[in-house]
Amino acid sequence: MKHNGFTLVELLVVIAIIGMLVGLLLPAVQQAREAARQMQCSNNLHNMSLGCLNVEASNKALPSGGWATSWLGDGDRGFTQKQPGSWIFAILPMMEQTALFQLASDGDPNTITQTQKDRGKPVWSTSLPFFNCPSRRPGTPNYTRSTAYRNATAESNLQAKSDYAGVTGNTHPDANGGSAVGTLKEGDELCASDSWLYRGNGAIFTGSHVRLSEIRDGTTNTYLLGEKYLGIDRYIPTDTKNLDYGDDVNAYTGGDDNQRWTNTVPLQDRSGYNPCYGLGSTHAGSLKMAMCDGSVHSVSYSIDSETHKFLGIRNDGEAAQLE
């Protein structure tokens, strides 16, 4: 008698072939997804660097790194040195987030009022996806250490964070550089004297006021922004105790969390190793860096340490270039 169906052996062979094809296809799908995420990461950096350049074009200086971790952004105080918040806060209007920028204000740049603190509360938890690398973590609020700042109060420890940092040069992005700023008046006096405790030789640092004309090594040869290193086990902490010291405050805060230096080579993220101030990424092989001309490049983790260091310095006179 003739049977039209498949035998058990034939079915097993077909299933085995399908399994092999799926096994071959999945890595390709994952690679395609990661390539798309890396492209989005590059776009994030490109748009942020254009935001910084727009600030420079209209205010004659790149956005400042802010006044250290005890200060959040103030929508009344502009975009450069007198802005106590981070460079990330300063470029919000250039990222089509003017309403968010202006919400953290009270109409008086010289006074910190309760109105300002109350209006700013929802700002500090407003996490925007383009400030996070899609390969690393979603753009959602994340645990921070503080809810009370000199000029603001956050609603909870779940606040906005960023995976990107301004490049301070090869000088340590020390938050204590602005620790002497206890009041707006003191901050303004330091701005006027241009005598911060901590100075950087990169494009963005605590109290910085850098013009493109001061980037004498060339805007194409000087880092502006880049991805910051973060331990894999600290991507999304479960409470306020399991925090990376280089990733424990708000994205809109001045100071070290939103700044990085080039005195150490960039690293791919790993578990159990948590240096605070280096550049790095979750991407395999390279991280993304934006230059002072707005271009974005993939920089290998094996880049020469001296080249990496000099690319972070705006006026060292060294002919460092990305290949």
Structure-token pair, residue 78: 């502009």
Task: State the total domains in the chain.
Answer: 1
Asked if residue 304 belongs to a domain, the reply is: yes
pLDDT of 256 reads 79
CB atoms within 10 A of CB 87: 33
* Res. 2 pLDDT band, cuts 50 70 90: low
Mean pLDDT over each residue of the chain, to the nearest integer: 89
pLDDT above 80 for 100: yes
Residues with Cβ < 8 Å from 147, sequence gap 6 or more? 153, 154, 155, 156, 157
* Res. 181 pLDDT band, cuts 50 70 90: confident
Structure-token pair, residue 145: 């250490």
In this prediction, what percent of the chain has a pLDDT beyond 70? 92
Asked if residue 18 belongs to a domain, the reply is: yes
| Region of poorest pLDDT, from 60-69, 120-129, 134-143, 271-280 | 271-280
The torsion defined by the Cα of 259, 265, 268 and 274, in degrees rounded to 10, comes to: -60
- As a whole number, mean pLDDT of residues 297-311 equals 95
Owning domain of residue 41? 8-311
- As a whole number, mean pLDDT of residues 74-95 equals 95
Residues with Cβ < 8 Å from 38, sequence gap 6 or more? 135, 283, 288
3-state secondary structure of 223: strand
What would you measure as the largest C-alpha separation in the chain, in angstroms?
Answer: 101
- As a whole number, mean pLDDT of residues 109-118 equals 91
Asked if residue 276 belongs to a domain, the reply is: yes
Asked if residue 157 belongs to a domain, the reply is: yes
- As a whole number, mean pLDDT of residues 103-112 equals 92
Asked if residue 137 belongs to a domain, the reply is: yes
pLDDT above 60 for 65: yes
pLDDT of 308 reads 95
- Residues 104/86, Cβ–Cβ less than 8 Å: no
pLDDT of 30 reads 72
Closest CA relative to residue 149, chosen from 261, 53, 67: 67
Asked if residue 322 belongs to a domain, the reply is: no
pLDDT of 194 reads 65
Asked if residue 48 belongs to a domain, the reply is: yes
Higher pLDDT, 213 or 196: 213
Asked if residue 235 belongs to a domain, the reply is: yes
H-assigned helices in 76-214:
87-90, 98-103, 114-124, 184-193
pLDDT above 60 for 177: no
